[in-house]
Amino acid sequence: MKKQDQQQLSPQQYIRTRARKLPIGNCYINSEWKESGMANIIVTRKHTNGNYTFGFYLVDLFAFGTKDTFYNFNVGEDVIKDLLARGQDQDIIQIDYTLAHNIIYGANAFAEDHDFKLHRDFNLTQYILEEDNEDIDLIEIEFGKDGELLIIA
Is 138 inside a domain boundary?
no
Is 68 inside a domain boundary?
yes
Is 13 inside a domain boundary?
no
* Main-chain phi, psi angles of 88, to 5 degrees: -60, -25
Q: Supply the mean pLDDT for the chain.
A: 93
pLDDT tops 90 at residue 89: no
The answer to whether residues 18 and 4 touch, using CB atoms and an 8 Å cutoff, is no
Q: State how far the Cα of 84 lies from the Cα of 49, in Å rounded to an integer.
A: 22
- Count of structural domains, the chain: 1
Is 14 inside a domain boundary?
no
pLDDT band of residue 120 (cuts 50, 70, 90) is very high
Is 90 inside a domain boundary?
yes
Is 150 inside a domain boundary?
no
pLDDT tops 50 at residue 20: yes
Q: Domain limits at 36? A: 31-128
Residue 7: predicted pLDDT:
65
Is 44 inside a domain boundary?
yes
Q: State how far the Cα of 60 lies from the Cα of 82, in Å rounded to an integer.
A: 23
